Amino acid sequence: MLIARVVGELVATQKHASHEGRKILLVQPLNLDGSPRGVPLVALDAVDAGVGDRVLLTTEGYSAMTSVGRPNSPIDSAVIGFIDRIDLDPA
């Protein structure tokens, strides 16, 4: 799983039938300090996230499929939760 920020929404006029009725998001993975980590990813939304939200992202195909309730759906990643805060041990 990764920490990410929603940076946009994607509109697809044609998509796989298992994606019907689901929002597709563009998410930027983040380091623990909030700086960008790598390139943005496309993820299916399971929690009704919006632009600017800090979210939990799964990037395992099977985990992504089952977390959005779409078994056998051709997806690699899904937004599965909101992150309210991150507490780090200072040691």
Report the CATH number that the domain containing residue 8 is assigned in CATH: 2.40.50.220
Task: Report the candidate in 32, 39, 43 with the shortest Cα–Cα distance to residue 10.
Answer: 43
Query: For residues 1 and 6, what is the distance between their CA atoms, to the nearest angstrom?
Result: 15
> Would you write out the chain's pLDDT as a tens digit for each of its 91 residues?
899 999 999 988 888 777 777 889 999 999 988 999 999 999 999 899 999 999 999 987 767 766 767 677 778 889 999 999 988 888 7
CB atoms within 10 A of CB 89: 4
Range of the domain at 27: 2-13+20-72
pTM, whole model, 2 decimals? Answer: 0.86
Q: What is the pLDDT of residue 62?
A: 66
Q: How many structural domains are present in the chain?
A: 1
Query: For residues 25 and 56, what is the distance between their CA atoms, to the nearest angstrom?
Result: 13
Is residue 47 domain-resident?
A: yes
Is residue 80 domain-resident?
A: no
Q: CA–CA distance from 5 to each of 31, 71, 72 (Å)?
A: 11, 25, 26
* Residue 67: DSSP 8-state: H
